[in-house]
Amino acid sequence: MKPISVRVIRELSDRHTYHGWVWIDGYELGPKGEAVARRELFVLRGGVRVQLQAPRRPNEPRRPLRRTPARVG
C-alpha cells in the first residue's frame, strides 16, 4: 500500500470510533502539491505524520522568492 499526502481540512469529531482512530476530511495532494481529490479518511492517529511543506521533486528547480519593492523616502 502506497502512502498519500493529504491537506487536512478538519477532524470529524462527531463520528465515534475505536480508541486512537479518527475520521478526517481533507484533500489528497498530487505530486506538485495540488489538490486532486477530496477524501474522508479513517486513520490511526499514531500513523499520521505532520509535514509542514509539500514535498519537492528531486529534479524540480527552486523558485526564487518574489519580493515587493520597498518604497523609500
Q: What is the pLDDT of residues 19-31, one digit of tens each?
A: 999 999 999 998 8
Residue 68 lies in a domain: no
**Which pLDDT does position 12 carry in this prediction?**
93
Residue 63 lies in a domain: no
pLDDT band with cut points at 50, 70 and 90 for residue 4? confident
**Which pLDDT does position 23 carry in this prediction?**
95
Q: Look up the pTM and report it.
A: 0.64
Residue 38 lies in a domain: yes
C-beta separation of 17 from 9 below 8 A:
no
Residue 53 lies in a domain: no
Cell of 33: 502539491
**Which pLDDT does position 40 carry in this prediction?**
95
**Which pLDDT does position 55 carry in this prediction?**
58
pLDDT band with cut points at 50, 70 and 90 for residue 33? confident
Residue 73 lies in a domain: no
Q: Which domain holds residue 17?
A: 5-47
How many structural domains compose the chain? 1
Cell of 22: 479518527
Q: Which residue has the cell 500500500?
A: 1
